[in-house]
Structure 1
Amino acid sequence: MTAPSRIPYELLIGWRYTRAGRSSGRNGFISFISGVSMLGIALGVAALIIVLSVMNGFQKEVRDRMLAVVAHIELLATDSEGFADVTGLMAQARQHPSVLAAAPFVAQQALMARGDDMRGAMVRGIAPELETQVTDFTLQLPPSVRDALQPGSFNVVLGGELARALGVQVGDRVTLVAPGGQVTPAGVMPRLKQLTVAGLFDSGHYEYDATLVLLHIDDAQRIFRLTSPSGVRLKLKDSQQARSVASDLAAQLGPNVIVRDWTRQNRNWFAAVQVEKRMMFIILTLIVAVAAFNLVTTLVMTVTDKRADIAILRTLGASPRSIMTIFVVQGATVGVLGTLAGLLLGLGVAFNIDVIVPAIENALGASFLPRDIYLISRMPSDPQSADIWPIVLLSLAMALVATLYPSWRASRINPAEALRYE
């Protein structure tokens, strides 16, 4: 039993059952249910792609702002004395082909005070001429501010949030309270140093804007009584290779150097983002699953409606396997069309979300990401093939699985029983 064309008759009949329907009657209702299943799969796939793309966009925005402040890799001494030959260490680190630049630094915790206001801060001593090669946000500082960080000037650059918390502006003086006091006849007295605010910076990351203080590395060593820098900051050609490069440097530099890459410094944040992505994937996959398993209802109703057709095909020589194939084709067609529609819809929204969201905000007169609350005022999106392909394959797999049982039941229909009341 073959069709005149070379296309297997199972495919032709399965496709005919998928698109068949009248404006009224049982066939029309079955086609309506099939269309609803297709629409549900499309919306579920699109929702998954859009949500994961937006989460990737937020992660990328925060990561880029974070990497503008932190180094890709930090080399730290195993003791508190720092590195005596920091120049040699920098030269040795630059020998790695992935390292672009290196800069020494001093990092210490301290208190910043002005009047009755006092805030904890991370004081970072930098060499301005080298630091601009390692971190991007220092390039955004005006040249006059970078030039103000001269040895012996004791000028500082504060994060904007920290300056607002202390109530200081450029030109004001603040007091740095260093850890570890000095012993006097009256007891242990804290070490204080008056500093002049030479400038402010806004990195776009609240954690650093509220805690980071920059001053010249020589001034930092004098304040904290250090004889050498605390470590070296490195910039790589590709920040995503930081973990492998850190492993290479750890083996190259030996056990006396602690190598720490940016992914380990912010491990908890990245782990939390990954957990959120997994949970959103699981939750939204349930939408696709519900739509896919609506195919079971569609196919069961189709099998019931087509019992006479199935019996006639069996009497003409169609095997149970061919009958099963017909209904698998019908269900798979709905799954494929729904998945493709969802893929196109999801990618269309994800790649144009910077246009769609502002249009919705203008129409509703609302702002989804107010500038005074969120660091990011626009909706970012970053579609990634590593997320999209699993969504597509999972949707197709669930649609195929949903067709198996009704198709198997169709193949078990007895022609004599089906034709008895026809």
Structure 2
Amino acid sequence: MGGIQLCLAGASIGNGNRGVEALGRSVLDVIDTEAPGSRLSAFDDGWGVRPDNSGRYRRADVEFVGVRLSRRWHRSESWAQIRVAQRLGVLGNPAATRIAHADAVLDISGGDSFTDLYGRSRLRAVSAPKEAALRVGRPLVLLPQTYGPFDTPDGRQRAERLVRSAALAYARDAASYERLLELAGSAADFSRLRSGVDVAFALEPRRPMNGVVEQIEELTDGPIAGVNISGLLRDDAAVGRFGLAGNYISTMTDLVHALVDTGARVLLVPHVHVPGGGGESDVAAIEAVLARLPDGVSARITVVPAELDAAELKWCIGQCDWFVGSRMHATIGALSSRVPACGYAYSDKTRGVFETCGMGDHVVDARTVSGAAAVEAMTASFAIRADVKPKLDARVPKVVRQARGQMIDILADVRAWKSGRALGAIA
């Protein structure tokens, strides 16, 4: 079980998005356990090369390497500078050097960002590490993720080229697997196109410090309803951008009020935290909801600190009796903890992941329903939480094992490539 050299892209640990962090931590946890002696360079949007000082990884050497689309092309972190270094064969560039020496480049695209839904610039950034691996002939592994939608000819052509050039490609749900097969085309080696599950199902929860545990354990006078309110959907621009059916903040405010009216204690869980609370920060969305609620309702609400990491947030979510969220990885934190959950979704990706656990009926589409109708659908999910729990108890352990098993299979493939097994593109 010798060590291997890997690069991990599309799962930045420290950018404030706990869902993306959950992806990265889940991959690192398995590598540390299953591939002792390995070296993993995790790409993020920081500066320079930084060793991991968390103490979490005792058997693998983990470091973080800054990469980014940047107008400061002269910086070593710039993908333009990395591209030049690769073409000139100059290995002084940190990222270029690590890619050149890697036994494989693992890429997860933030779980759901391999699409042109978020614009051309985002797709360029997501494609950059994939293209960098292929440029120097390193095996590219597309970890379990969503593929598409691709609504522009350029976006689809780019996706087809990258998928067909990869060594392995996993989808994280059945719908994405069908789209992966379409992108790969009929000439593909279908043994290397695999249906998987979101790697975050394998994330190990960690008990938080700083009094958070005691705060949650004191919530004994009623069921705990966890609620994630997404900052991505909080302003009017989201209505046009994602085709929302109505005002998201008003709907979530009414939902929290309705849950409190049932006798529940509400635990608000931010899953994306932007410094200062602006932009897409869930903290700003939570504050917008709290500002609309009367004092009597607010007294039954507890807000989880935004500074907790993904594993700590998963522990908090695991204490709930039911959970609802619009950040998909917040709901994965619930499902993987066998907590009955509901997704208030703005894209098709959520239903695909919920169906992995047999929970497709517990997804409410924010593009078709809002206001009182959405609140009714979500509170109906809350009402049958006790009926849902046995289903999760039966199905989720298998999904968690699959999340770990697919990573173990990937590591076995990488070791085989390293030992000389012939390898080509998927198509």
Larger Rg: 1
Structure having greater relative contact order (Cα 8 Å, sep ≥ 6): 1
State the TM-score, normalizing by the size of structure 2.
0.24
State the TM-score, normalizing by the size of structure 1.
0.24
Higher helix share: 1
Higher strand share: 1
